[in-house]
Copies of this chain bind each other. A is one copy, B any other.
Amino acid sequence: MTWISSLASQFQLSLLVTTTTESENAPVVLTGVLLSLVIIYLASKLGGELSKRLNFPPVLGELVSGVVIGVSALHLLMFSESGAQASDSAIMSVLQFIFDLSPDSVTSIFHSQSEVISVLAELGVIILLFEIGLESDLRQLKEVGYQATIVAVVGVSVPFTAGTIGLMMLFHVPVIPAIFAGAALTATSIGITSKVLSELGRLKSKEGQIIVGAAVIDDVLGIIVLAVVASLAKTGEVDILNVVYLIFSASIFLLGSILLGKFFNKTFVAIADKLQTRGQLVIPALIFAFFMAFIANAIHLEAILGAFAAGLVLDETDKRKELDQQVVPIADILVPIFFVAVGARADLGVLNPTNADNQTGLIIAIFLIVVAIVGKVVTGWTVFGQPQLNRLAIGVGMIPRGEVGLVFAGIGSASGVLDKPLEAAIITMVILTTFLAPPLLRFAFKGELVEDKPTVEQADLERELQKQ
């Protein structure tokens, strides 16, 4: 079989477009990315469909199938940034077998491949928030702005206070780690929440818009909390200037993009109407969305906020329906990468009670989970003047911590503030709130009629009828 390997090493070059040796691995990286995407899509469809048949939201199935193929089980989808080695990844073993790679090449290819999948996942959540923005109604969002702000502020302050004080009183955790854990309790995963709402056909309901609005504000508050906590962890002091800068830039950004929207709407339609080549609608839209995401990132906010704002602005145009239709397949291929990757990164090893660190961690975790759920559920009852609202649904919609919660755990662990048990407890809390929220949200909305948009089956039926 040596001729196959000699052929293989020769043909690492076969897709080469350039001259340096650094690029010799490029075709293998592509092979790895293709195999990863095949596995991600297979997992997302298997998980999503199974979840749907069991009457859960499909996104829960995507998360769980991510866990199955990720670091917790099959080791197919691994991420080098999470500290995994190339030898841990089953996909890398396949590539190694096919292409007979040197250990150095394997490490570099593994790194590149996991970087590419990570960025694709990030682009997925950016497109998701752009789509959610397109489907959200700016006018309705303004109407519920007041309630959403209250929900967000209560949903940040209650879990933060209860978590921090509880950890200090009950578990004698020192003040800085306690504040860190409290901060991790404040997050709301706008991605998971909005996806579930969309799948339940509830995104445009009053409850849905309050949840989305509150989740957006929560994301901004989360960034500010993170700034405070990170500077506390680093220097032991709070950098007031940072906090002021963040509050200021976030407000300017969100209000600015809404105001800009009024002008930009017409310009956008005029430009799209003038273009004559393929992609004349979707490319200008993505230029705008990615530019807003870039600006958000550049002023130290999250990219998804920019994409959401871009979607809100373009929602106001005549082209909205056509654009919506064209964004659907793009979202269909990118968004599952995000959810499967979130699942694949969640290390369920922290739930293993035979590990001593985990035992202490699990007890703290139970406390954190109770605070996490109760602290968000109460927010539903802070909305006043709206007797007809499903308050439980609003509170439950704020529960999932998702990727935002993991950010806190990641920074805490990197800065050395958190000890192993507390870190494991935070990760457990994040995983459980994330996985519990979709079925709980479905339960909270149960019995009510679906209002806004047809389910996939209904859409299919309509299409069939049109054909006849």
Contacts and interface: CB of A to CB of B under 8 A. Distances in A.
A17 interface: yes
A104 B283 CA distance: 34
A22 interface: yes
A279 interface: yes
Nearest to A3: B241
A456 B17 contact: no
Nearest to A280: B456
Nearest to A12: B300
A49 B303 contact: no
A26 interface: yes
Interface string A49-85: 1001100001000000000000000000001111100
A387 to B, nearest CB: 34
Interface string A297-320: 110101100000000000000000
Contacts of A411: 13, 16
A123 to B, nearest CB: 8
A115 interface: yes
A118 to B, nearest CB: 6
Contacts of A226: 14
Interface in A91-118: 98, 112, 115-116, 118
A48 interface: yes
A32 to B, nearest CB: 9
A174 interface: no
Interface stretch (A179-187, A322-330, A361-369, A440-448): A322-330
Contacts of A83: 18-20, 22
A345 B300 contact: no
Can you tell how many copies of this chain the complex includes?
2
Interface in A17-50: 17-24, 26-27, 29-31, 33-35, 37-38, 41-42, 44-45, 48-49
B223 A14 contact: yes
Given A44-B283, A98-B298, A15 B303 contact: yes
A355 interface: no
A52 to B, nearest CB: 5
Contact of A15 (B7, B38, B302): B302
Contact of A7 (B10, B227, B329): B227
B329 A282 contact: yes
Nearest to A403: B17
A413 B19 contact: yes
15 contacts: A7-B242, A14-B407, A16-B407, A18-B81, A18-B82, A18-B406, A19-B413, A20-B414, A26-B115, A26-B118, A30-B119, A112-B112, A286-B333, A329-B330, A330-B330
